Amino acid sequence: MSTKKRIWLTGASSGIGRTLAEKLAAQGHLLALSARSAEPLQEMAERFPGQILVLPADLTDAAAVAAVGQTISQEWGALDWAILNAGNCEYVDVDQFEAAMFERVMRINVLGTANCIQAALPLLRKGAEPRLVGVGSSVTFCPLPRAEAYGASKAAVRYLFQALELDLARWNIGVTLVSPGFVETPLTAQNDFPMPMQVTSDKAADTIIKGIHKGKREISFPGPFIAVLKLLGALPNALRFALTKGMARDAAQRNDA
């Protein structure tokens, strides 16, 4: 923790991203914070004067993201960490299947992430012990009902970061994939189903920061929940299906719950 990092953090206005921003700023790091809403970012900048660049942007807008990268370059000249945390989740109802939902979720979770990578890589190449961090999801360990759009987007993020690790090794840019379980955030507060072993955003942020400092390839938590998902995902398909099909509920059952 003794070395001050230059960090770009997306999705910093709420949830895990906001908690990460607060903890990293308290540790003395320099932060470039991005989210669609500028007000929460500005509030943090006022609490930590001289440490924070407020760079709001719609991450699905390639030109806006490129402008963020240019500002970071002008201010700092390089990045040490890029933590690409921004994302969204919508759940599928198969009785009203909506293809447009997949486009919405993929645009922010995959295209938005790719836009940020494009802006971050030239800056990371100039950084000290640079690391690219992407936030995926534990849903990629085992297919779950209603998670078709979200899970597919996070599976794409997993493949993207694991493949990037191979290509970025030539530049000594480390790559970390974060695969959290359920975390208490404004987004998960909207869920209408049980969320076993849910952790606080404070605990999640601590785990992520420690994992990045250790140079972990993957940071997944909480351990028992991840172990169960990995076990289910590793079972023969017929057995996995038999054990998980009971999780599916139709709209009436969800309303009753």
| Residue 211 located in a structural domain | yes
Q: Identify the domain containing residue 76 by its residue range.
A: 6-256
| Residue 243 located in a structural domain | yes
| Residue 188 located in a structural domain | yes
pLDDT at 197: 74
Q: What percent of the chain has pLDDT over 90?
A: 81
- Tell me the pLDDT tens digit for each residue of 43-52: 999 999 999 9
How many domains, the chain? 1
| Residue 135 located in a structural domain | yes
Q: What is the CATH number of the domain that holds 185?
A: 3.40.50.720
Return the minimum-mean-pLDDT range out of 18-22, 37-41, 90-94.
90-94
pLDDT at 166: 98
pLDDT at 1: 43
| Residue 1 located in a structural domain | no
- Tell me the pLDDT tens digit for each residue of 186-208: 666 566 656 667 789 899 999 99
| Residue 157 located in a structural domain | yes
The answer to whether the beta carbons of residues 131 and 171 sit under 8 Å apart is no
The answer to whether the beta carbons of residues 61 and 79 sit under 8 Å apart is no
- Tell me the pLDDT tens digit for each residue of 70-91: 999 999 999 999 999 999 989 9
